[in-house]
Structure 1
Amino acid sequence: MTKAHQILQNSMNNPTPLPCHLDQWGVIAVEGSDAASFLQSQLTNSVLGLNVTLIGKQAFGFSATRLIGYCNPKGRLLASAWLGLFSSGSDGNDRFILFLSKDIAASTAKRLSMYVLRSKVKVTDLSNEWVVQGLYGSDAQIAGIEVNANDIALRLPDVLVSEQSVARLLIAGPKESLDKEQDSGERLIVLNALEVLSAIPRIVLATQEQFVPQMINFESVAGIDFKKGCYPGQEIVARSQYRGAIKRRLQLAHVDGISQNDSPCVPGVELFHDKDPSQPAGMVVLAAQSPEDQTRIDMQIECKLEALENGEIHLGSATGPVLKIDVLPYPLLEI
């Protein structure tokens, strides 16, 4: 049994999965009587018709959670996020909560606020006041997690690891309600690896405005609604879909024999193909150390499709480590 399988198995055998602080995640709240129509006009996915989740309960499934993108007018992603609609149940005030990369939370909230105009909408970056935690385990374990009455919980899609389905949960709340846990190093490594292996991208500061959504498989992981109407960059996103203009895709890959501390394997690092080393062939989207091998880095990469046909793809430079391409966990929708 590898270390990764051991860590997962230990978690599955633990009646109550332990939380891990995810300092790379932030939270934005959008509320007000016009919040739904406002977000509908700004995001790649529809937010209308979302089921309301009570605070202290888990938002689960497409009816209650959505992967969304936020584009600039050129159709390039400024942000991606997991979104849910939550209510306290007492005052009847609902608010949308977006889980996204902390390093872009403030700029994303500021940009959204610029377009509120006269709408009755309030956009608040809660990332400095709230903490985000992650948990993983079996479906039954995660479903059984009791969430504090004042906290927000959103279930992420399960990840298949060695034919074992691993469930994941994000919990966010005020710092005082989510105590700092101890000895979470192994759990953080596993959670980061699970996110990479899900092949569902997350935009960070280094990759802002680099990708049209389809370049990182957004349409294949239910992050775009092509029937919802206008939003910034919508014409370019639609044209890319229906005119077959996308020649780049997100892939899973890994490199062996290096550690994340001494490698250039971080989001935004460019990739080079040995047949055309003069220009980049792609970019790292997300990367994480493998729990089973400290000298292996798993990653999501955005890459030219033609570069996958033959030759080698190198990390960081034309002479950098050679990437090994892995299998995606979902089928790509044809464009």
Structure 2
Amino acid sequence: MAHTSNNNSNTCFTPLKDWSCISVIGPDAVDFLQNQLTNSVKSITNTPAASIASPHQQNRFAGYCSAKGRLMASFWIARQDTSVGGANVEATESQPAFYLFISKDLAATLAKRLSMFVLRSKVKVLDLTESIDIYGYALEASESRDELAKMVAISGVITAELPAVTINQMQTKRYLLAVPKNQAMSNVQDGALQAWNWLEIQSAIPRITQATFEQFVPQMINMESLKGIDFQKGCYPGQEVVARSQYRGTIKRRLQVAHLIHCEEILPGAEIFHSDDPSQPCGMVVLAASHPSINDRMDIQVECKLEALQSGSVHLGSATGPALSFAALPYPLIEI
């Protein structure tokens, strides 16, 4: 196990070049997003300025589906309202502002898609790729958050806490920061990216990328078990398909975490095959990262047929490719 902090500490701000952010701001932002996303936004509470959006209350996992119930994106959505209006304090009002932390290769697509449905709603959807950078910050639970606190306090920085990852009984806390591009940064370390990406794999929380665009119904990658779907919230694109999958028990595929010995990069969307059925894939790679301290070991999230786990073996690329070793998920699955 490679700790996320040690003598050459990874407790620093890691540029996440594969991430971006979308803002959805305006008086109608709550109702607008409530009708678009898999999860409820009405119960997301505002994060005060210079504060960290806490998981589930102020920052929530969610997705956006096509009309056929296929995920076009998954993301973390945090609320930090903005001030608008008058020239004096009394006249200044706040309006709802939501920030979606998303894979960069889908930011423009989702922003455009959401904008199509704005119509007469008083809301503005913006792809912030050109104006902000996303950083990750990871540290063990016992470590000081002084460096993080300094960044959080800077005007214009949006910070969201992600669920912690526990490896060998050691808990690592993770944070995403959206930082204006003109903001000077200290304690930045590109070399910590490998450890950050590996922690993301171990979290078993999927992130849709262009390679897996519209490949999965949300339950196929465990979104209901990750509190990423609200089945009581009412209509949104694809809602009928998602609900039918839940209540009819039609999900035969799930997200799993595995590792294999492989010295080359593994890309999202790569297919996996079962040893007894070489003619067709039994799933695909969602995310992959090399292990921070074990040479030639790749850790991956895969979406996989449940029956493929019952006997035989699962391999990358073909039925004779490198074999996958599966690990237990870090959270219980809601049985469907």
Gap change, CA 1:140 and 1:118, over 3 Å in 2 = farther
Where 2:335 maps in the other structure, the secondary structure is coil
For each residue in 1:150-207, what CA deviation from the matched residue of structure 2 results, as whole angstroms up to 9, or x when unmatched? 200000000001110100011112111153755431x111110000100000000000
Q: Residues 182 and 60 of structure 1: is their aligned pair in 2 closer, same or farther, counting only changes over 3 Å?
A: closer
Structure 2 match to 1:301? 302
For residue 254 of structure 1, give the secondary structure of its aligned residue in structure 2: strand
- Specify the alignment match of 1:20 in structure 2: 14
Structure 2 residue corresponding to 1:77, chosen from 47, 71, 79: 71
**SS of corresponding position for 1:106:** helix
Shift of the alpha carbon at 1:8? Answer: 2.9
Match of 1:195 in 2: 200
Partners of 1:39 and 1:79 lie apart in 2 by 14
Name the Cα RMSD after superposition. Answer: 1.7
Give CA deviations for 1:67-116 in whole Å, capped at 9, x if unaligned: 01100000000000100110246652331000000000000000000011
Q: Distance in 2 between matches of 1:332 and 1:109?
A: 31
Q: Per the alignment, in what secondary structure is the counterpart of residue 228 of structure 1?
A: coil
Partner of 2:87: none
Equivalent position of 1:272 in the other structure: 273
1:184 partnered with 2:185: no
Q: How does 1:158-237 map to 2 (within 5 A)?
A: 158-179=164-185, 182-185=188-191, 187-237=192-242
Aligned partners of 1:189 and 1:291 also within 8 Å: yes
Task: Work out the CA distance in 1 between the residues paired with 2:184 and 2:52.
Answer: 16
- Secondary structure class of the residue paired with 1:118: coil
Hey, what's the Cα distance between the residues in 1 that align with 2:298 and 2:69?
30
- Unaligned 5+ runs, structure 2: 84-91
1:154 equivalent in alignment to 2:148: no
Distance in 2 of aligned mates of 1:312 and 1:286: 20
Matched to 2:311, the amino acid is: N
Which whole-Å deviations, capped at 9, do the CAs of 1:25-76 have from their partners, x for residues lacking one? 0000001111100100000000002111123210013111110110000000
The answer as to whether partners of 1:74 and 1:236 remain within 8 angstroms in 2 is yes
Q: Who is 2:6 aligned against?
A: 9
**CA distance, structure 1, for counterparts of residue 186 and residue 133 of structure 2:** 9
Counterparts of 1:117 and 1:182, CA distance in 2: 41
Given the superposition, is the C-alpha separation of residues 140 and 52 from structure 1 closer, same or farther in structure 2, using an over 3 Å criterion?
A: farther
Counterpart secondary structure, 2:295: strand
Kept in 1: contact 2:54–2:160 (CA 8 A): yes
| 132-141 or 285-294, larger mean C-alpha shift | 132-141
Q: Choose which of 67, 73, 94 in structure 1 pairs with 2:61.
A: 67
Does residue 245 of structure 1 match 2:239? no
241-250 vs 287-296, which moves further: 287-296
Equivalent residues in 2 for 1:104-183, closer than 5 Å = 104-139=106-141, 141=143, 144=146, 145-146=148-149, 147=152, 148-179=154-185, 182-183=188-189
- Gapped runs of 5+ residues in structure 1? none
Relative to structure 1, the CA distance from residue 154 to residue 141 in structure 2 (aligned partners, 3 Å threshold; closer, same or farther) is farther
Q: Letter of the aligned partner of 1:8 in structure 2?
A: S
Q: Tell me if structure 1 keeps the 8 A contact 2:161–2:174.
A: yes
Q: How many matched pairs?
A: 324
How many angstroms apart in 1 are the aligned matches of 2:173 and 2:105?
A: 25
Q: 1:178 to 1:217 in 2, by over 3 A?
A: farther
Aligned counterparts of 2:234 and 2:189: Cα–Cα separation in 1: 47
Matched to 2:216, the amino acid is: F
- Aligned match of 1:101: 103
Residue aligning to 2:283 = 282
